[in-house]
Amino acid sequence: MVRSFLAIDLSHEVREVLASHLRREWRRLPCRIKWVAPENLHVTLKFLAEVPEHGINLIRQALSARLEAAPPMDLTLSGPGAFPVAAKARVLWVGLKESRELLDLHSAIDTALEPLGFERERKPFHPHITVGRVRERFSVYKKIHPFFETQIEPLSFHVPDVVLYRSDLTPDGPIYSPICRFALNGPHPGPGP
């Protein structure tokens, strides 16, 4: 079985900027948080969980034609936030500005993988980059509120492809290895009517 997920890679610049916030500010917060290693930062599009080896090929086939027709896009960082809500933060993230292309890409992936038995996402897609996971049981809002005040530069980055990742869980944290990439080669949509 292969634990896998589909994701968007960040540019070197975005990774560096987030790593710098981590080094300079976030790591100092007085709270037990498992921070994501800078090389592991990404935007999850769909978590596929454990997939049998032969399923990987089916996923590849189901996605390649559909994603080939999807347009490449530019995404822009927005501000920090948390799941489920800041007051009960479990997952700390940096959000992305709303993008029609990204929502369409997410939906195209759901549509392509539904026939293979992957359930469509029921919750609305909230694009984000997870930067840390809270490891304390009770409300940590008071300890971490400076996280929510971080001024994130609204950097943009180009998204030429979607990556199918394999995730190997180890005691030192997950190791993500790309299995394959799906180029986004569709026409850029015009400005609309």
**Which is nearer to ligand 2AM, 90 or 143 (by Cβ)?**
90
Those residues with Cβ within 8 angstroms of residue 64's Cβ, 6 or more apart along the chain or in another chain? 182
Q: Is the preceding omega at residue 84 within 30 degrees of 0, hence cis?
A: yes
Pick the closer one to ligand 2AM by CB: 66 or 133: 133
To ligand 2AM, the closest distance from the beta carbon of 34 in angstroms equals 11
Compute φ and ψ for 169, nearest 5 degrees.
-85, 130
- Compute the least distance from the CB of residue 190 to ligand 2AM, in Å: 31
Catalytic residue among 54, 106, 128, 145: 128
Residue 128 annotated among the catalytic residues of the structure: yes
Q: Which is nearer to ligand 2AM, 108 or 167 (CB)?
A: 167
Residues lying near ligand 2AM in the complex (CB under 6 A) are found at: 5, 44, 47, 130, 167
Hey, how many other C-beta atoms are within 10 angstroms of the C-beta on 96? 19
Please say whether the beta carbons of 25 and 150 come within 8 A: yes
> Is 42 one of the catalytic residues?
yes
| Helices 100-113 and 53-68: angle between axes, nearest 10 degrees | 140
Q: Kindly name the residue from 42, 145, 158, 188 that is annotated as catalytic.
A: 42
Q: Which residues are known catalytic residues?
A: 42, 128
